[in-house]
């Protein structure tokens, strides 16, 4: 889509100032040379010669200035020799007396009058520098939008898209979010035929909030709404409102709505609404920047309440991944009263998204996108787009003419575990620890319930932190997990550390992330899912939490001290029992742990049928069984 900038860039003004400066520089040079020019070239002689000539009474007159003495001889010392000579003065208090004694007519230059140009410069240059500095800052503050003129801090920085035929985004470009699409189709209808709704007296919604994790297509969807309706689309990010200059955010909001009203019907899209819309009560105690944000927020609320032209609707779409932090005032009727959930796609959604992006690359015959879709549970749309691109890069690097299944498979791993870090080298003893750790995960994971199978073990370091990894692929799409599934997951997570204990009798720092995740799951089981028998089906964690960030560090409801202790004890119990289970499984399969670990130390990666056969000989000890 073409981006149109509504403001003229400051380049023209800047050029003018440059010209002025150059002109002044030239003048400065001239002003230095001018006085010298008036003096013609005269032969220079040593000062001592001058004094001699004065003493010999051959000098008729002298003209003395700060840096030169010019004098004329009564008669040329030789035929054709010059009579006018010059010398450089030295500090000589007796000179006037001497000249007088020898009857020389002498005069000194008048004191230097301040030169016109110097005066001009001293008046003009400092303000000029001042203006330049100011302009520099103005431009800096205008970065990103780029549409800032000098000293105009308030212009809205929204970029405007006007959808044209070739480049417009439509609903066909977005997949896997069908419910959101259905809801937004209605908005498209409002924008296309506002009269119809106005005739019945229906109130057109002003604000729609798109809620969902990053990369699920919120921005894309709102562009598609504009594209489908064929209306202009103003896009601005919440953080762009809140800036260096106090009051600028509010002014920007005002400007934005002003511009939008001129182009109505149209869409305003505010990305990262949470940057301005954070709950005011929730942010108490945070120092700095609050007033500014609050002003901006208030202005936004005022503007949203203000416009109500039924036949020329301006609809505000906003996106956030932290709806729970938003100020309640934003969610009231007449503001963002509609919320559309844009969640990560399910199996068939992933399949369609993969198709969209697979069309943009050359795909080899017989590539099975279904299998890729199955292996990418939890990927958002942006991850899938990235995945296809990564596969295409791999294919190109390998001089293949089309993207093959293997490229896609490897791309999954890259996206999951970060890019392969060839440069990182593990010490042999470290490698051994990583091997047993990962095989521990694999054996325990294989024996625990939970609808996924261990597909690969690798001790090739990847990305920033993963030294090795065990890839578990879900065998079916799951929305619900039983208590046993979750306990199985915790046990699997503890499998790595338990293997280190079983083999080396001590633990390393490598299990930190595992423990974090295990504890999180246990906490959620007790606090969110009501899976604890002693504590009952109560939700001790407040709803919402940071659902989309995956962090379960929800603030707890107000509970009594004894309940809090009981919760901690339950969580602890869950993790402890899982730890015991993992230990007993690994003791029971000690030989297998050894076999697979040795193998992986050789090969670095074990996967597919080989892994399946190896794991098939593992057995579950009685005491580690989870009653299903
Ligand atoms: P969000 O705004 O939710 O963080 P974006 O809309 O910016 O996500 O998505 C980033 C990119 O990922 C999009 O430009 C698009 O290429 C791809 N993408 C994300 N979700 C989808 C989807 N549901 N269908 C197709 N492409 C998607
Ligand atoms: Mg976005
Ligand atoms: Zn681990």
C-alpha 533 to ligand 3 mean position (Å): 29
- CA angle, 209 then 521 then 496, to 5°: 130
- As a dihedral over the C-alpha atoms of residue 241, residue 244, residue 247, residue 251, rounded to 10 degrees, the angle is -40
Indicate whether residue 356 lines ligand 1 (CB < 6 A): yes
Query: What local confidence, expressed as pLDDT, does residue 98 receive?
Result: 86
Query: What local confidence, expressed as pLDDT, does residue 420 receive?
Result: 44
In this structure, which residue's CA is closest to atom 6 in ligand 1? Answer: 217
The answer to whether residue 461 scores a pLDDT higher than 80 is: no
Closest CA to 338 of 304, 380, 303: 304
DSSP state of 204: P
Single out the catalytic residue among 438, 487, 500, 570: 438
Query: What local confidence, expressed as pLDDT, does residue 3 receive?
Result: 40
- Residue 430 — very low, low, confident or very high, per pLDDT cuts 50/70/90? confident
Among 72-86, 98-112, 130-144, 486-500, top mean pLDDT goes to 486-500
Q: Which atom of ligand 1 is nearest to the CA of 177?
A: 23
As to burial, measured by CB atoms within 10 angstroms (0-12 exposed, 13-18 middle, 19+ buried), residue 599 is middle
Phi-psi region of 492 (alpha: psi -120 to 50; beta: other; left: phi over 0): alpha
C-alpha 271 to ligand 2 mean position (Å): 6
Residue 467 to residue 417: CA distance in whole angstroms: 10
Ligand closest to Cα of 172 equals 1
Ligand closest to Cα of 494 equals 3
> How far from the centroid of its chain's Cα atoms is residue 46's Cα?
72
- At 236-260, the pLDDT tens digits run 887 776 665 566 777 778 888 888 8
Rounded to two decimals, the pTM is 0.53
> According to DSSP H, which parts of 193-327 are helical?
194-200, 218-229, 238-241, 248-262, 274-277, 290-306
DSSP state of 44: B
C-alpha 122 to ligand 2 mean position (Å): 52
- b/e sequence 169-204, b meaning 16+ C-beta within 10 Å: bebeebbbbeebbebbeebbebbeebeebbeeeeeb
Question: How many percent of the chain have pLDDT more than 70?
Answer: 77
The answer to whether residue 587 scores a pLDDT higher than 90 is: yes
Residue 467 to residue 441: CA distance in whole angstroms: 14
Angle between helices 561-588 and 590-603 (to 10 degrees): 80
Residue 187 to residue 222: CA distance in whole angstroms: 10
Ligand closest to Cα of 179 equals 1
Task: Phi first, then psi: give them for residue 591, nearest 5 degrees.
Answer: -70, -40
Indicate whether residue 222 lines ligand 1 (CB < 6 A): no
Q: Which atom of ligand 1 is nearest to the CA of 210?
A: 3
Structure tokens at 577: 């029992």
Maximum distance among all Cα pairs of the chain, rounded to whole angstroms: 132
Beta bridge partners of 72: 61, 84
544 prior amide bond cis, ω within 30: no
Residues within 5 A (CB) of ion ligand 2 = 219
- Residue 548 — very low, low, confident or very high, per pLDDT cuts 50/70/90? very low
Question: Does 438 qualify as catalytic in the annotation?
Answer: yes
Residue 589 to residue 583: CA distance in whole angstroms: 10
Least confident of 213-222, 272-281, 486-495, 542-551: 542-551
Structure tokens at 260: 């939008």
Q: Which of residues 198 and 588 earns the better pLDDT score?
A: 588
The answer to whether residue 23 scores a pLDDT higher than 70 is: no
Query: What local confidence, expressed as pLDDT, does residue 250 receive?
Result: 77
Question: How many percent of the chain have pLDDT more than 90?
Answer: 15
Ligand 1 pocket test target in 238, 349, 354, 382 with most atoms within 8 Å of CB: 382
The answer to whether residue 581 scores a pLDDT higher than 70 is: yes
- At 328-380, the pLDDT tens digits run 777 777 788 788 888 777 778 888 999 999 988 888 888 888 888 877 766 78
Indicate whether residue 381 lines ligand 1 (CB < 6 A): yes
The answer to whether residue 395 scores a pLDDT higher than 80 is: yes
- CA angle, 54 then 55 then 61, to 5°: 20
Mean pLDDT of 397-417: 85
As to burial, measured by CB atoms within 10 angstroms (0-12 exposed, 13-18 middle, 19+ buried), residue 119 is exposed
Q: What is the mean pLDDT of the chain?
A: 78
Indicate whether residue 615 lines ligand 1 (CB < 6 A): no
Q: Which of residues 210 and 263 earns the better pLDDT score?
A: 210
Query: What local confidence, expressed as pLDDT, does residue 26 receive?
Result: 61
Least confident of 84-93, 203-212, 266-275, 308-317: 308-317
Q: How many CB atoms lie within 10 A of CB 138?
A: 17
Query: What local confidence, expressed as pLDDT, does residue 21 receive?
Result: 65
Contact 276, 300 (CB under 8 A): yes
Residue 396 to residue 559: CA distance in whole angstroms: 58
The answer to whether residue 1 scores a pLDDT higher than 70 is: no
C-alpha 319 to ligand 2 mean position (Å): 7
Structure tokens at 464: 């920033």
Residue 167 to residue 161: CA distance in whole angstroms: 10
Q: Which atom of ligand 1 is nearest to the CA of 349?
A: 23
The answer to whether residue 37 scores a pLDDT higher than 80 is: no
> How far from the centroid of its chain's Cα atoms is residue 104's Cα?
82
- Residue 473 — very low, low, confident or very high, per pLDDT cuts 50/70/90? low
Mean pLDDT of 574-599: 95
Mean pLDDT of 171-178: 87
Closest CA to 372 of 412, 320, 427, 333: 412
Contact 176, 349 (CB under 8 A): yes
Query: What local confidence, expressed as pLDDT, does residue 158 receive?
Result: 65
Contacts of 33 (CB under 8 A, 6+ apart): none
- Residue 491 — very low, low, confident or very high, per pLDDT cuts 50/70/90? very high
Least confident of 184-188, 347-351, 460-464: 460-464
Contacts of 431 (CB under 8 A, 6+ apart): 459, 601
Using the structure block, give the residue that is written with the tokens 């597919």. Answer: 608
C-alpha 403 to ligand 3 mean position (Å): 32
Residue 154 to residue 256: CA distance in whole angstroms: 10
- Residue 105 — very low, low, confident or very high, per pLDDT cuts 50/70/90? confident
The length of the chain in residues reads 628
């Amino acid at each position: 889509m073409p981006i149109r900038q509504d403001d003229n860039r400051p380049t023209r003004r800047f050029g003018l100032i440059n010209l002025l400066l150059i002109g002044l520089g030239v003048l400065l040079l001239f002003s230095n040379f001018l006085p010298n020019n008036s003096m013609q070239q005269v032969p220079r002689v040593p000062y001592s010669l001058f004094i001699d000539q004065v003493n010999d009474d051959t000098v008729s007159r002298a003209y003395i200035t700060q840096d030169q003495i010019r004098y004329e001889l009564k008669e040329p010392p030789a035929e054709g020799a010059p009579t006018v000579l010059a010398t450089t003065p030295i500090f000589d208090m007796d000179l006037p007396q001497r000249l007088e004694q020898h009857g020389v007519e002498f005069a000194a230059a008048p004191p230097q009058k301040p030169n016109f140009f110097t005066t001009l410069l001293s008046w003009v240059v400092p303000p000029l520098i001042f203006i330049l500095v100011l302009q520099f800052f103005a431009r800096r503050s205008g970065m990103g939008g780029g549409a800032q003129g000098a000293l105009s801090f308030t212009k809205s920085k929204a970029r405007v898209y006007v959808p044209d035929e070739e480049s417009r985004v439509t609903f066909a470009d977005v997949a896997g979010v069908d419910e959101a699409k259905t809801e937004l189709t209605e908005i498209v209808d409002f924008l296309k035929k506002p009269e119809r709704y106005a005739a019945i007296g229906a109130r057109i919604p002003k604000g729609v909030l798109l809620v969902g994790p990053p990369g699920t297509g919120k921005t894309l969807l709102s562009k598609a709404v504009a594209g489908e309706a064929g209306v202009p689309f103003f896009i601005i990010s919440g953080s762009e409102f809140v800036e260096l200059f106090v009051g600028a955010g509010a002014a920007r909001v005002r400007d934005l709505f002003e511009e939008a009203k001129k182009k109505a019907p149209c869409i305003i899209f505010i990305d990262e609404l949470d940057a301005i819309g954070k709950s005011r009560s929730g942010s108490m105690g945070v120092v700095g920047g609050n007033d500014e944000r609050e002003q901006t927020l208030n202005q936004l609320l005022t503007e949203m309440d203000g416009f109500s032209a039924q036949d020329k609707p301006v609809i505000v779409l906003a996106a956030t991944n932290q709806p729970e932090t938003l100020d309640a005032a934003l969610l009231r009727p007449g503001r963002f009263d509609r919320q559309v959930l844009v969640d990560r796609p399910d199996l068939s959604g992933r399949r369609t998204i993969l198709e969209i992006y697979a069309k943009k690359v050359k795909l080899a015959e017989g590539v099975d996108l279904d299998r890729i879709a199955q292996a990418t549970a939890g990927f958002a749309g942006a991850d899938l787009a990235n995945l296809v691109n990564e596969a295409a890069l791999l294919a190109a690097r390998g001089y293949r003419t089309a993207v093959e299944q293997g490229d896609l498979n490897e791309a999954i791993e890259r996206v999951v575990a970060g890019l392969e870090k060839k440069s990182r080298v593990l010490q042999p003893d470290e490698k051994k620890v990583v091997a047993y750790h990962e095989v521990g995960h694999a054996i325990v994971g294989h024996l625990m319930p939970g609808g996924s199978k261990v597909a690969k073990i690798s001790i090739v370091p990847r990305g920033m932190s993963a030294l090795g990894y065990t890839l578990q692929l879900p065998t079916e799409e799951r929305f619900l997990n039983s208590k046993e599934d979750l306990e199985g997951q915790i046990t699997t997570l503890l499998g790595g550390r338990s293997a280190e204990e079983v083999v080396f009798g001590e633990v390393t720092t490598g299990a930190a992330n595992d423990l974090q995740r295990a504890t999180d799951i246990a906490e959620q089981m007790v606090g969110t899912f009501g899976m604890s028998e002693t504590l009952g089906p109560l939700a001790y964690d407040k709803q919402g939490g940071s659902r989309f960030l995956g962090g379960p560090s929800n603030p707890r409801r107000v509970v009594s001290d004894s309940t809090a202790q009981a919760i901690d004890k339950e969580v602890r119990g869950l993790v402890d029992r899982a730890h015991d289970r993992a230990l007993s499984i690994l003791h029971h399969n000690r030989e297998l742990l050894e076999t697979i670990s040795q193998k992986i130390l050789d090969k670095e990666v074990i996967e597919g049928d080989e892994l399946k056969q190896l794991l098939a000989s593992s057995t579950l000890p009685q005491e580690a069984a989870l009653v299903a």
